[in-house]
Amino acid sequence: MNKKIQLQDLGKKDYKSTWEYQEEIFKDIVDLKIKNRREELELPTPNYLLYVEHPHVYTLGKSGDLENLLLNEKQLEAKGATFYKINRGGDITYHGPGQIVGYPILDLENFFTDIHKYLRFLEESIILTLAEYGLESGRSDGETGVWLGVGTPFARKICAMGVRASRWVTMHGFALNANVDLGYFDNIIPCGIRGKGVTSLNVELGVEKVNEEEVKAKIIKHLSELFEAEFV
């Protein structure tokens, strides 16, 4: 079992090239697992966490409804945004500047083989991080991600999640709104859920900008504790 997670901060990077990079790492890990089983080897499989910030982009999960995108091709272009239909779970979401996007590419056989537990741990890392800023957040029944004001008319999503897993290897991940222009969410029905809002950490704290590097460090601390992992 390899409980070390390699941290890579990719900085600002377009969605397509990051997706291709994820797929490359994902395939390498799966191929190594297949080789281990075929040749009865015990070569350790690596784990990664990619941090990235994307230019404006909308992505639709494999079970999503295209009608939840409220822009046509010309309108997307006018907003400086792109659109991709991808192979994660979940519906439509937005990525853009001021958003902390994390893509854990983990071999869960290094930790535990339970996808639901994996999702709950991702959510918990965000819930614990927000608590450090004095914000009470939680889960909304039947809706993956992290919310504020759960159970009230003012419920609002602050972190979206969508993952893919095969042979217990994960990809895609979470997107926490830190300093996001929330106007871009007006162009979609976020995650296909009507009647609920979206928020950002800086808005909730009433500040112009939060320190994103500080937030990322807090997430890593909590992921490390939850997964009993060492980030390198």
CA 174, CA 100: separation in Å to the nearest integer?
8
CA 177, CA 3: separation in Å to the nearest integer?
28
**Closest to 122 (Cα-Cα) out of 174, 73, 172:** 174
CA 22, CA 216: separation in Å to the nearest integer?
19
Q: For residue 191, indicate whether it is catalytic.
A: yes
* Joined tokens for residue 216: 């990322």
8 A C-beta contact, residue 171 and residue 86: no
CA 146, CA 200: separation in Å to the nearest integer?
12
Catalytic residue among 69, 160, 176, 191: 191
Active site residues: 191
